[in-house]
Structure 1
Amino acid sequence: MAGKVLATRLLQCSRVQNTAGMSTYANKIGNREVVCYGMNGDPTYIDRVDFPMPAIRYKEPTADIQALREKEKGDWKKLSIDEKKALYRASFCQTFAEINAPTGEWKSIIGWALFGSSLSLWIFMAMKKYVYPPLPVTFDEEHQLAQLDRIIKLDMNPIDGINARK
């Protein structure tokens, strides 16, 4: 019994919060009609293929759209193609074909990535030339061979064990 009362009270509180939340969206959405729950319960308009029904209509109702809405309540065969398109565009911004159409955004992404790579390469070359000191003379092959010869003559770090024997 107590659980049922608690559930009823929570449901009433959530209804009060939901109606209070909708009034905060009124100045964001204007006069646009809320037609369904939407993707996350907020009255927002998003064109998505995986969730094709936005919570609100795309455009605010005008006198032309209101007249078309009254006309659509009758026989749809009497509506022209342009009127049907106007009704669709009042509710939705894009068709599925327009949503799925390639945008070409990948070109700018690759362009910026190549620009960043070339810029970093130029910075590296400038740092190598003007900032870093030159390599010591011991890095050339002649000095390395002389160092190896010296290590062998001084018998530094000799290898012991079974594998060292011939």
Structure 2
Amino acid sequence: MAGRLLCMRALPVQKTLGRASMSDMRSIIGNREIVGFGFNGQPNYADRVDFPLPAIRWKENTPDIQALREKEKGDWRKLTIEEKKALYRASFCQTFAEMKAPTGEWKSIVGISFVLVAIALWGFYGMKTFVYAPLPESFNEENRRAQLRRIIDLQINPVQGLSSKWDYEKDDWKK
């Protein structure tokens, strides 16, 4: 994860109205070679799958890398696998496989979500226990049955309500 964050960093950009001069850019990017336009036209580096061509190389030019770049101009079959990998790592921080690899970040998101749900449940339980008044007597099963019986006896809403589903001749629910 730390390597991914390191490779995702973008170098600071000049905050001037016009284009920054080459000396200003060099003070920001150091001895890195500018190789393209980049995804936003500024000399910065970011490993992106949607735009795989950063504006500058990943590592600064050193004598070892310069020697490899001169050797690269010749026949590539004469380069060893280690030299090819060193050239790639001098230009790019991560491969596509490394960029697309899962980070495991979902685990922290799920963990934080569970913690927040637990806090909410404890808050609800605390509110129900210490803040809310007890339920009124009308919520008891006996009182609810008595209220239903009164609704049926008074024939409240006999067209579409509960009384329409009651058979008054059989004194039972319609089937």
Q: Same fold (TM over 0.5)?
A: yes
Which residues in structure 2 correspond to 1:8-27 (within 5 Å)? 17=18, 19-20=19-20, 25-27=25-27
Match of 1:65 in 2: 65
Which AA in structure 2 matches 1:68?
Answer: L
Q: Which runs of 5+ in 2 are unaligned?
A: 1-16, 169-175
Which AA in structure 2 matches 1:71?
Answer: K
State the alpha-carbon separation in 2 of the partners of residues 26 and 141 from structure 1.
81
In the alignment, structure 1 residue 113 sits paired with structure 2 residue 128: no
Which AA in structure 1 matches 2:95?
Answer: T
Match of 1:34 in 2: 34
In the alignment, structure 1 residue 77 sits paired with structure 2 residue 59: no
Which AA in structure 2 matches 1:58?
Answer: W
Indicate the SS of the match to 2:20: helix
Deviation, 1:137, is: 1.9
Match of 1:4 in 2: none
Which AA in structure 2 matches 1:37?
Answer: F
Q: Which runs of 5+ in 1 are unaligned?
A: 1-15
Match of 1:134 in 2: 134
Higher share in helix? 1
State the alpha-carbon separation in 2 of the partners of residues 75 and 121 from structure 1.
67
State the alpha-carbon separation in 2 of the partners of residues 148 and 131 from structure 1.
30
Which residues in structure 2 correspond to 1:87-98 (within 5 Å)? 87-98=87-98
Match of 2:56 in 1: 56
In the alignment, structure 1 residue 45 sits paired with structure 2 residue 45: yes
State the alpha-carbon separation in 1 of the partners of residues 157 and 75 from structure 2.
100
The TM-score with structure 2 as length reference comes to 0.67
The TM-score with structure 1 as length reference comes to 0.70
Matched residues, number: 147
Cα distance change of structure 1 residues 140 and 27 upon mapping to structure 2, 3 Å threshold: farther
Match of 1:10 in 2: none
Deviation, 1:131, is: 2.1
Between the two proteins, what is the percent identity of the paired residues?
61
State the alpha-carbon separation in 2 of the partners of residues 105 and 158 from structure 1.
57
